[in-house]
Structure 1
Amino acid sequence: MPEDAGQDPVPEDPTGQSRWRSLRLLQQDMDADIARLYADRGLPGLKPSFVMELIRLHAQGPMTITELAASVQRTHSALSQKVKAMREAGLVRTVPGPDARSKRVTLTAKARGVVGALAAEWRATEAALAELEAEVPYPLSRVVDDLRAALARRGFHERISARLAEDPEWG
């Protein structure tokens, strides 16, 4: 009798297949290239994920975390974590806000000293993305717009719920 007789079979791992993993990996690789540019320029502690908020604070002045989150279309929780990381990197500081519960986020001298370079990188990145999209038959920005239109017709929640209703494991 085989040694594994009577044992449950190994379950199928659905995570081996992912339609969008390659998109996440592509963005990760591109962010790594941007981070390399910062390292080449001598900008330690700067992450590509900080740049939009730093440029926005420079352009619009100090904001509460709630205002900054709305400005960059992120959740308050996500922005609060990011502000903490940017504060630890010496790029922003927080000061008391208009009421006892809020904090205003402001740039440090370190951030003000590099924000011009960050804006230049942003413009160069957008130009490089436009160039890249021109090389492919169906640009990613058009794909995103088309997916948003399709989801407006039938939402993602509804699509997933319909699939789950057919799956006995969801129960």
Structure 2
Amino acid sequence: MRNIILTSGAIIVLTLIYFISLSREKPDLDKPQLIISCKGNVHFDLARPNSTVAMEGSVGLTTLGSKRLALEFSGQLLTEQGRFTLSRTLMMDYLYHPENYILELNYADSQVRDIDTAPDDIVFQAILKSHLSILKLSQFSDNALLISDSSTPLFVCIAQ
């Protein structure tokens, strides 16, 4: 009789642990998933204390699930080191904050196409400046987002 009571108690405890662990692993259904696939034409002129950088071309932004996004750059990059053809995709890990429409980006990898002539270090200094960055998303119209950094609008991204 004692073994039956202990076995029943153990089953009840294991069942409670199972349901508690399921409730903790349940995804946050209230948090909206960010889904973006857009592209915009750009002309950047960035003045820095020791250099000037310009980019003319296009930038695309596409989410790849809930944690990764692709920033695609194509066009011309003009730096003090020279003029370069830019054709690459920067893979970024992201964390989206829907309460203030902020994307925290963390550089993960680059995919460079054959026509790209820009050295990695020049692209990093010209475009990224850091492995971590923050973008602000603002709805511009039904199919367009205004992408900004901490102080400046960067480009309008049109839905693809």
TM-score (norm 1): 0.26
Structure possessing the higher relative contact order (Cα contacts under 8 Å, 6 or more residues apart): 2
Question: Which structure features the higher share of strand residues?
Answer: 2
Name which one, 1 or 2, has greater alpha-carbon Rg. 2
Bigger helix share:
1
